[in-house]
């Protein structure tokens, strides 16, 4: 690991100022991802800015009109322990449970989950975010079993690793950001982007900006759930995840939101699946149709066609789980 400067601000304003350094700086929250990247030489910031001393970035507050305010430094463990999250936002609780490590639950943060970098082994091996070698991406002709099946027309083939983003998208959540130009809010869906060149990143964060929190609207009347498909029971990222939020009128779906995770360079919204569900009572057959619609247009690579079927199954089971009909 290369030598670096270290700053430990006590306010958001101090953190933003500390991040503005020539040569690049990196924000440290839980540190799980950043430290691994630095040890591997993938990231070499001139300065590391520790955010842990900023009290304004911590905690969970609920307001019946505004909804759930989650500080960026709120840990996964704290999210799991919150009764309001368990009762009104089960999709978030289920996503937190999917992080199958007590250690990561204790130190990993909500903001860190949204900002973590792709797990793509080409990127992690130092070939850049797009995995370029000799002028072209290595993913299409290399080992791509865990890469994207949607949104992968090129040159990005990695998958977004966020556990919470699919659920937050279906719940219409807002990412709160602060930077040198002030504060701004973005729908979670717009926080992520597909880079088209190596100089771009997969997050809509400008230089010296940090995520300060997430605002999730009230969801007491919205049935929501997430379903993840894991290769093993121990700690690992899902192969596929599907999040669903349903506004119901009795047994009939008035409005649906569906988003897939770990299948595209961004958390992938599935409007075709939402249209299948809208205006109909939830049945196992309807849930299966929604799953089929969610992966229409998928472009699997040479080694990951299995993800298409997993996507169909994950959406089906998420719909049934949200509707209280899990089989």
pLDDT in tens, 247-282: 999 999 999 999 999 999 999 999 999 999 999 999
Please, what is the Cα angle at 198 between 193 and 202, to 5 degrees?
Answer: 20
Distance CA 13, CA 158 (A): 33
Q: What is the CATH number of the domain that holds 284?
A: 3.30.390.50
Domain presence at residue 50:
yes
Domain presence at residue 31:
yes
Q: What does the pLDDT read at residue 233?
A: 77
pTM of the complete model? 0.96
User: Residue 175's CB: how many other CB atoms inside 10 A?
Assistant: 27
Which of 14, 31, 56 finishes a domain? 56
Domain presence at residue 184:
no
Cα separations (Å) of 91 from 68, 125, 322?
A: 13, 33, 8
Domain presence at residue 94:
no
Structure tokens at 26: 């990196």
Strand partners for 68 = 62, 216
Q: What does the pLDDT read at residue 236?
A: 81
Residue 2 CA to its chain's centroid (Å) = 29
Q: What does the pLDDT read at residue 207?
A: 84
Structure tokens at 177: 């950001």
Domain presence at residue 34:
yes
Structure tokens at 72: 């960026």
Paired sense of beta strands 222-229 and 5-7, if any:
unpaired
Domain presence at residue 240:
yes
Candidates 215, 218, 192, 316; CA nearest to 258 is 316
Domain presence at residue 16:
yes
Q: What is the CATH number of the domain that holds 41?
A: 3.30.43.10
Domain presence at residue 70:
no
Please, what is the Cα angle at 275 between 222 and 165, to 5 degrees?
Answer: 55
Q: What does the pLDDT read at residue 44?
A: 94
Residue 317 DSSP SS3: helix
Print the domain residue range for 12.
1-56
User: Residue 296's CB: how many other CB atoms inside 10 A?
Assistant: 12
Q: Do 289 and 258 touch, CB atoms closer than 8 A?
A: no
Q: What does the pLDDT read at residue 287?
A: 98
Please, what is the Cα angle at 185 between 12 and 202, to 5 degrees?
Answer: 90
Helix (H) or strand (E) holding 212: strand 210-216
Cα separations (Å) of 68 from 30, 110, 216?
A: 21, 13, 5
Positions in the chain whose pLDDT score sits under 70 = 327
Helix (H) or strand (E) holding 189: helix 188-191
Determine phi and psi for 77, rounding to 5 degrees.
-60, -45
Q: How many domains does the chain have?
A: 2
Q: What does the pLDDT read at residue 232?
A: 82
Distance CA 272, CA 292 (A): 9
Q: Do 170 and 259 touch, CB atoms closer than 8 A?
A: yes
Which of 56, 84, 103 finishes a domain? 56
Which of 56, 81, 96 finishes a domain? 56
């Amino acid at each position: 690991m290369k030598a670096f400067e270290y700053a430990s601000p006590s306010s958001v304003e101090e953190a933003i100022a500390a991040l503005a350094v020539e040569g690049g700086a990196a924000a440290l929250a839980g540190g799980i991802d950043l430290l691994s990247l630095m040890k591997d030489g993938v990231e070499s910031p001139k300065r590391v800015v520790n955010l842990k001393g900023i009290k304004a970035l911590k905690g969970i507050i609920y307001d019946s009109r505004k909804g759930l305010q989650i500080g960026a430094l709120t840990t996964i463990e704290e999210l799991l322990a919150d009764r309001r999250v368990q009762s009104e936002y089960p999709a978030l609780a289920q996503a937190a449970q999917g992080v199958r490590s007590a250690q990561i639950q204790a130190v990993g943060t909500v903001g860190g989950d949204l900002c973590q970098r792709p797990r793509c082994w080409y990127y992690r091996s130092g070939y850049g975010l797009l995995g370029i070698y000799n002028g072209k991406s290595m993913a299409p002709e290399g080992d791509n079993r865990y890469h994207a099946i949607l949104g992968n027309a090129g040159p990005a083939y990695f998958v977004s690793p966020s556990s919470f983003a699919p659920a937050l998208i279906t719940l219409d959540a807002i990412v709160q950001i602060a930077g040198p130009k002030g504060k701004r809010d973005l729908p979670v869906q717009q926080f992520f982007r597909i880079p088209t060149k190596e100089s771009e990143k997969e997050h809509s964060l400008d230089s010296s900006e940090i995520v300060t929190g997430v605002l999730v609207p009230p969801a007491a009347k919205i049935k929501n759930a997430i379903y993840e498909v894991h290769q093993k029971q121990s700690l690992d990222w899902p192969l596929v995840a599907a999040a669903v939020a349903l506004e119901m009128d009795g047994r009939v779906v008035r409005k649906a939101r569906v988003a897939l995770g770990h299948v595209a360079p961004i958390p992938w919204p599935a409007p075709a699946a939402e249209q299948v569900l809208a205006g109909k009572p939830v049945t196992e057959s309807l849930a299966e149709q929604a799953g089929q619609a969610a992966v229409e247009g998928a472009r699997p690579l040479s080694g990951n066609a299995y993800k298409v079927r997993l996507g169909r199954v994950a959406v089906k089971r998420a719909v049934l789980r949200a509707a209280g009909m899990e089989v």
